[in-house]
Amino acid sequence: MLNKKQKERKEEEIGKIIHYYDKIGVAIIEIGKPGLRVGDAIHIKGHIDDFDQKVESMEVEHSEVLEAVKGDVIGLKVPQKVHEGDKVYRAQE
């Protein structure tokens, strides 16, 4: 069930999970819309997963980046397990 803050928030789908490394807690995300930046709030949602987090750092091909553009495949540390096919949304308040 969504809380009041989640209901009022606008979200834009920006990508999807294409792999998850369980041992290190890193999601691999294919970016479909440009403009994901360090500091952005994201929402990851799938059949099992549904949580918010702030992007604290991300990597493209093992190099840390501040921004991801359309077509990038990024690595992002996540606080819980995610699954291939989960959608990633940029949360806007």
pLDDT in tens, 6-39: 456 688 999 999 999 999 999 999 999 877 999 9
Residue 73 has a pLDDT of 97
User: How is domain 4-92 classified at the architecture level of CATH?
Assistant: Beta Barrel (2.40)
Residue 92 CA to residue 67 CA, distance in Å, equals: 17
DSSP line for 26-74: EEEEEE-SS-EETT-EEEEE-SS-EEEEE---EEETTEEESEE-TT-EE
61 Cβ contact partners less than 8 Å away, ≥ 6 residues apart: none
pLDDT in tens, 48-84: 999 999 999 999 999 999 999 999 999 999 999 999 9
Residue type, 73: V
**pTM for the model:** 0.87
Q: Residue 91 forms beta bridges with which residues?
A: 11
Residue 34 has a pLDDT of 77
